[in-house]
Structure 1
Amino acid sequence: MTAAALPASRIAPQRAIVPPAELSDARKIFVFATMGVGFFIALLDIQIVSASLADIGGGLSASPDEVAWVQTSYLIAEIIVIPLSGFLSRVMSTRWLFCASAVGFTIASLMCGWAWDIKSMIVFRALQGFLGGSMIPTVYTTAFAFFPGKKIIAAAATLGALSSLAPTLGPTVGGWITDNYSWHWLFFVNLVPGVFVAIVVPLMVRIDEPNPSLLKGADYFGMALMAMFLGCLEYALEEGPRWNWFEDDTVRTTALISAASGIGFVWRSLAAAQPVVDLTALKSRNFALGCFFSFVTGIGIFATIYLTPLFLSRVRGFSALEIGEAVFTTGVFQVMAIPVYTLAARHIDLRWLLMFGLAMMGLSMLSFTPITHEWGWRELLLPQTFRGFAQQFAVAPTVTLTLGGLRPEKLKLASGLFNLMRNLGGAIGIAACGTVLNDRANLHFLRLAEHLTAGNAAMQNLVAGVGARDATLFGGDAAHGRTAALKQLWSLTWREAQTMTYADAFLLISICFALATACVPLMRKIAAPKAPSSDGH
């Protein structure tokens, strides 16, 4: 169709804007896939360093507390920019926001690989998170613009798979790269896909217009409040478990700043003429419930990715590569679930598929609770298979049910809030699990120690056997042998106490999914989304 054949209201003078409905299916799929690459690498980089922090710390001569900021700085920056992306895409257009994000993310990745000390690494990781974070919600709005009606089912299934697959594969990919090359390649691996996205997107994505005039009436005070709220909240959640929460002055201060600025941000968002985040979208029951489900699935995805590698490292002593191989099955079975979900979604109400997915996620968390210190990849295979398959049914229908019922003009601002809830769920879930591991380990240790008395025959035999062996090695020194035996007894008891805390954490996550599953019937069935016009996008 030529420009002359279009209604005058659809023509943007001197702009090459192509309405989504006018694009060929092949072009839509190619553009969506290209943006999906940027979406995937931005999410992958959240966890790609998690199994390799010790290697990065060694290479940059950083302490464990310092190297933890390699991940924390990325998360803080990303969680701030995600809700800003809706406003930025309206100002810059989807085309130029995504292009600028891809260029900045690629340059920041290069600088991370070239970092000369831990301070430079933290700065570049923060830039990487901030510049890459805006690619995440932008893909959702593009998907709804490109694929109206039942076509959105396959697109939502793809986004759901990528959003949970990327952080799941992060430790696997990171561990393999570090073991076979060096930690520098954790960042250099982004260069080729980053350049590809940065070239293709500005050439092929022309679906909306930039509107720089929005900068004049923008709520900059609200943006500052939001940045303080989310940044301080993320810091408190990340550092709280390590520093015993409010006993640490910095954690206490950031928590208070977050609470005060959070209240101010909500007030400002409701009062401002052009709020940075559209909280009025929460008036929609489906959107409010969808944000809750996104929050809970964030807990399940990120907390499990946190717990499983930590267990394999602390209890089993696995290397980064061994950890990656052990958790790889989750991603494999999630990919296998995509065609099953796509077929089911064409014939079954998405609400029932969502209920099935959330319930299965809860049961998969429950299947982790019999965990023992002997668990390796074989024992983890079934629970992770269960979880990988369930994730697809928990995430994909949430996307469609939550965002599919919103008007196009609300979609950009609301998608940022929706994605923010998943990341917040992950942050809060990891913080809660970290606290459980710290507090419950001591409790379980004391309870186990209560049974290690003189009347415990198994304990006495262990101490006697180890003591006699070590005494022989040290020339018959019985005192030395008994000390060595008691040290080994303490180590075994602590190992069992730690293992029991992982079971507690998985049980807590399963309870969250049980609550979410019970709320699914409250969602309304939505009509098939219609293709938005170019001026409404």
Structure 2
Amino acid sequence: MADAAAATPSMMNAAAADSERIPPRRLWAFLIMVFGMFMSILDIQIVSASLADIQAGLSASSSEVAWVQTSYLIAEVIAIPMSGFLSRALGTRLLFALSAAGFTLASIACGMTSTIEQMIVWRAIQGFVGAGMIPTVFASAYSVFPRSKFHIVGPIIGLVATLAPTIGPTVGGFITDAMSWHWLFFINIVPGIGVTIGVLALVDFDKPNFELLDHFDWWGLLSMAGFLGSLEYVLEEGPRNEWFEDQSIFTFAIVCVISAAIFFWRALTVREPIVDVRAFADRNFGIGCLISFCVGIGLYGLTYMYPRYLAEVRGYSALMIGETMFVTGAAMFLSAPIIGRLLQKVDMRILIATGLLIFALSSWMMTGITREYDFWELLIPQVLRGVGIMMAMVPVNNVALGTLAPQLLKNASGLFNLTRNLGGAVGLAIINTVLEKRTDLHISRLHDRVTWGNTTATETLNMLTQKFQGMGDASLMAMKQLSQIVHRQAVVMGYGDAFFMLTVFYFGLSLMVLLLKKPNMLSSPEPAH
């Protein structure tokens, strides 16, 4: 009896060590899944720097080619929240393999398309089937690994979720310049096949429950599609078409409201809802989702603003935009392991608040933007942006998902990723509206100042008139040139206003962290049965 008693502590230590060890097969399976998630998120932004090339290749209008990105986003937003139900019904292995295979086939179709209509359809299919990979990785990270390893898996998925959309324009610019826009999609083929085979061979995290499909809520799916699809359409098209003054936007807004009411009614009353919203009852998850939503505004908003400024004001090509934007991705990659170590030593709420303040500082440094801002002027703000996003997003992932019971994780992961994407959609809508309205305001103000009584304006006009002497109507050409200068200056001032708005927003958001309860990441909740 004495020997048994003496052996008990060592046996317990050995058992604890075994429970903390990550089996190599499971680790490889997870890394393969992470790569699949990277492909899916990357494809949101990979076309952003190459839309002009796609437009020319498919003979599309500027409004039509915008749907190459919009259709993908709408389909992805609809599919992400339902991944929780499908993951429980089909199992992680089958759902992820189907998503990766469907994403690969749709990528081939996108690369081979010859009309803009075909491209929009295949991009929507690509976004819909590929969306299942994103929340599945998050759920797996927080359900199959011991809590003591969250400082490792947290930075990995946080890095991929934020790095992929950030370097999308960079990767797209290099590919388009080196080959053609078709290869934006063809590069998915070999990795997609590899991910599909790897997942089928290695993933064994859970078992499917096909009986859940007998209770599939079709009305819930249709109402969710109407709700999220209409919302995404309104947010995408609103800034371009004067919001509710446009009949189609007004109609979709009504569809959105009605569909939302039906969706939440179904989610709270049916036996197996397509999306289980009960996870929002957890305080840290709810606030974490809100912070994720707000971080998504900056993550996708600035990934849109920087390339647009470089193309619109500086006249950069897709390759030059990619080279300039690479800085933020490098900052994220290099800061990820440091943040992983800090997770073990620093209160996560402090990390989140610090990240948001760094992000606010990066935006504030851009409020004085001029048309001369180039790579070196953008360097420090981009580095701070990358570090700030990582420092905020990785702890938010852990706070929101790391303390939930395993049986809630699959549905909660879909909701959590949905909030980030919706934040991006809202951010783009707000930023586009601010840029448009403030640019118009600055044009009006500058035109009021550019008069014959303004010495600088008169001198500039005289200089331009002399420049165009002998080239036709010099006075008219000088007036047009001066008008272009005024317009460009107004555009730049609009960017400065947008950056100031983000500065104030993220400074205020850092105070919201005070509402979070200090998470205990070392204790494990009760396992699912």
TM-score, normalised on structure 1?
0.93
CA apart distance, 1:502: 0.7
Distance 2:490 2:274 in 1: 46
Residue 300 of structure 1 pairs with residue 298 of structure 2: yes
CA drift of 1:481 comes to 1.1
C-alpha displacement of 1:401: 0.2
Shift of 1:469: 2.6
- The one-letter code matched in structure 2 to 1:138 is T
1:168 is aligned to 166
CA distance in 1, matches of 2:250, 2:428: 18
2:337 & 2:154 partners in 1: Cα distance? 12
Q: Is the 8 A contact 1:105 1:128 kept in 2?
A: yes
Q: Does the 8 Å CA contact 1:145/1:532 hold for their aligned counterparts?
A: no
Residues of 2 paired with 1:278 and 1:325: CA distance?
42
| 1:356 corresponds to | 354
- The residue correspondences of 1:439-450 to structure 2 (distance < 5 A) are 439-450=437-448
Cα distance in 2 for residues equivalent to 1:340 and 1:469: 55
Match of 1:485 in 2: 478
- Report 1:408-447 matches (<5 A): 408-447=406-445
Q: 1:534 to 1:110 in 2, by over 3 A?
A: farther
- 1:459 CA displacement: 1.1
Report what 2:92 is aligned to.
Answer: 94
Listed as ranges, the gaps of 5+ residues in structure 2 are 1-17
Q: Secondary structure at the match of 1:386?
A: helix
SS at match of 2:147: coil
Query: For 1:150-299, what aligned pairs fall within 5 Å after superposition?
Result: 150-299=148-297
> Percent identity at matched positions?
46
Provide the rounded CA distance (Å) in 2 between the counterparts of 1:207 and 1:472: 77
Q: CA deviation at 1:529?
A: 5.7
Deviation at 1:392, TM superposition (A): 1.0
Which SS does the other structure have where 2:273 is aligned? Answer: coil
State how far apart, in whole Å, the 1-side matches of 2:311 and 2:463 are.
28
Q: 2: CA distance between counterparts of 1:535 and 1:453? A: 73
Taking the aligned partners of 1:451 and 1:43, their CA distance within structure 2 comes to: 46
RMSD: 1.6
Q: Which of 517, 521, 528 is matched with 1:524 structurally?
A: 517
Indicate yes or no: 2:80 matched with 1:106.
Answer: no
Give the match for residue 74 of structure 1: 72
Q: Which amino acid aligns with 2:163?
A: L
Q: Using the alignment, how far apart are the partners of 2:25 and 2:243 within structure 1?
A: 51
Q: Is the 8 A contact 2:112 2:182 kept in 1?
A: yes
Distance in 1, Cα, partners of 2:197 & 2:329: 29
User: What is residue 320 of structure 2 aligned with on the other side?
Assistant: 322
Q: Is the 8 A contact 1:467 1:484 kept in 2?
A: yes
8 Å CA contact 1:144, 1:531 repeated in 2: no
- Inter-partner Cα distance in structure 1 for 2:274 and 2:453: 66
Distance 1:21 1:129 in 2: 37
Q: Work out the CA distance in 1 between the residues paired with 2:249 and 2:278.
A: 31
- Further displaced range: 465-474 or 233-242: 465-474
Instruction: Give unpaired runs (5+ residues) of structure 1.
Output: 1-19, 475-479
Counterpart of 2:507 in structure 1: which amino acid?
A
Letter in 2 for 1:278: D
Q: What does the per-residue CA deviation read over 1:130-162, in whole Å, with 9 as the maximum and x for residues that have no partner?
A: 011010000011111232222011111111111
Q: Distance in 2 between matches of 1:278 and 1:529?
A: 26
Question: What is residue 493 of structure 2 aligned with on the other side?
Answer: 500
Q: Alpha-carbon deviations, 1:88-121, whole Å to 9, x = none?
A: 0011000000000000000000110011211111
Shift of 1:338: 1.0
How many Å separate the matches in 2 of 1:325 and 1:159?
Answer: 24
Q: TM-score, normalised by structure 2?
A: 0.94
Single out whichever of 260-269 and 78-87 deviates more from structure 2.
260-269
CA distance in 2, matches of 1:419, 1:311: 28
Q: 1:173: Cα distance to partner?
A: 0.5
Q: Deviations over 1:482-508 (max 9, x none)?
A: 111111111000001000111111122
Q: 243-252 or 170-179: which moved more? A: 243-252
SS at match of 1:240: helix
In structure 1, distance between residues paired with 2:498 and 2:261: 30
Which residue type is aligned with residue 235 of structure 2? L
Counterpart Cα distance in 2 of 1:284 and 1:469: 68
Match of 1:369 in 2: 367
Amino acid at match of 2:327: T
Match of 1:9 in 2: none
- What is the CA distance between 1:21 and its match in structure 2? 5.7
Alpha carbons 2:405, 2:527 under 8 Å: kept: no
